[in-house]
């Protein structure tokens, strides 16, 4: 199997003799993502030889053996190729956390704002309501204190906090980088609304305060 592909090792091979299929799993929640089933034509050829062989009463026996060997070699190759295609197909659904290097699903285990997996950067809203619905008072307080800190970060200077990875290309970033060293994306913008003066989130199309369309 190809080792140069940089992707999760957490997968299962669902390939059958009729074709190839792979399923990759999120390291955090375990959700599986399957590739399209890709049928493999060689089995049809081998099948045809088998039919011919039985019709001619075994005269083609040797030919069938050879075909089997040839087809298993080319099947191997097609299988490797299908695996590479599978990784390219499913790679966009996953992110590798620069901190714990787990491959997690973008859908529910990736904290886009922090550029880390939710294991390393938990979703505080979710944590909060989980803590509130449980009966442990200490837990609620611990989480409330945490949320307070996070609020400060969020309102004042979350843009100044270190982004662990580029929002554009997801390359890992050094502390206080102003531009992504990989794609050159500008990392800190401090645009203000022309109407009400509120700070704008980078890339925002409308002001979050007054709804004015931003000029960028």
Interface positions with Zn ion (CB under 5 A): 26, 28-29, 97, 99-100, 104-105, 109, 117, 119-120, 166, 168-169, 171, 180, 182-183, 185, 193, 195-196, 198, 207, 209-210, 212
Min CB(77)–Zn ion separation in Å: 32
Min CB(81)–Zn ion separation in Å: 27
Min CB(200)–Zn ion separation in Å: 8
Nearest CB to Zn ion, comparing residues 49 and 171: 171
Nearest CB to Zn ion, comparing residues 156 and 195: 195
Q: Reduced to 3 states, what is the DSSP secondary structure of residue 131?
A: helix
Buried b (16+ CB within 10 A) or exposed e, 97-119: bbbeebbbbeeebbbeebbbbbb
Nearest CB to Zn ion, comparing residues 86 and 187: 187
Min CB(99)–Zn ion separation in Å: 5
- Angle at CA of residue 25, ends 22 and 30, nearest 5°: 145
C-beta of residue 5 within 8 angstroms of C-beta of residue 85: no
Nearest CB to Zn ion, comparing residues 90 and 207: 207
Nearest CB to Zn ion, comparing residues 62 and 188: 188
Min CB(196)–Zn ion separation in Å: 3
**How many beta carbons lie within 10 A of that of residue 75, not counting itself?**
19
Closest listed residue to residue 102, CA positions, set 13, 24, 173, 34: 24
**How many beta carbons lie within 10 A of that of residue 8, not counting itself?**
19
């Amino acid at each position: 199997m190809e080792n140069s592909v940089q992707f999760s090792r957490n997968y299962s091979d669902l390939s059958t003799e009729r074709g190839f299929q792979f399923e990759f799993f999120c390291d955090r929640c375990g959700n599986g993502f399957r590739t399209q089933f890709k049928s493999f034509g060689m089995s049809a050829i081998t099948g045809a030889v088998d039919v011919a062989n039985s019709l001619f009463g075994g005269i083609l026996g040797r030919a069938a053996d050879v075909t089997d060997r040839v087809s298993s070699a080319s099947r191997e190759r097609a299988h490797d190729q299908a695996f590479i295609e599978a990784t390219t197909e499913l790679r966009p659904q996953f992110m590798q956390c620069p901190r714990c290097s787990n491959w997690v699903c973008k859908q529910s285990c990736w904290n886009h704002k922090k550029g880390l997996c939710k294991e390393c950067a938990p979703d505080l809203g979710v944590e909060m309501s989980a803590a509130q619905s449980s009966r442990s008072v200490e837990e609620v307080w611990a989480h409330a204190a945490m949320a307070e800190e996070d609020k400060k970060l969020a309102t004042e200077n979350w843009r100044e906090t270190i982004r662990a990875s580029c929002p554009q290309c997801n390359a890992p970033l050094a502390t206080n980088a102003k531009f992504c060293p990989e794609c050159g994306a500008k990392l800190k913008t401090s645009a203000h609304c022309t109407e009400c003066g509120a700070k704008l989130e980078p890339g925002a199309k409308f002001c979050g305060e007054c709804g004015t369309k931003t000029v960028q």
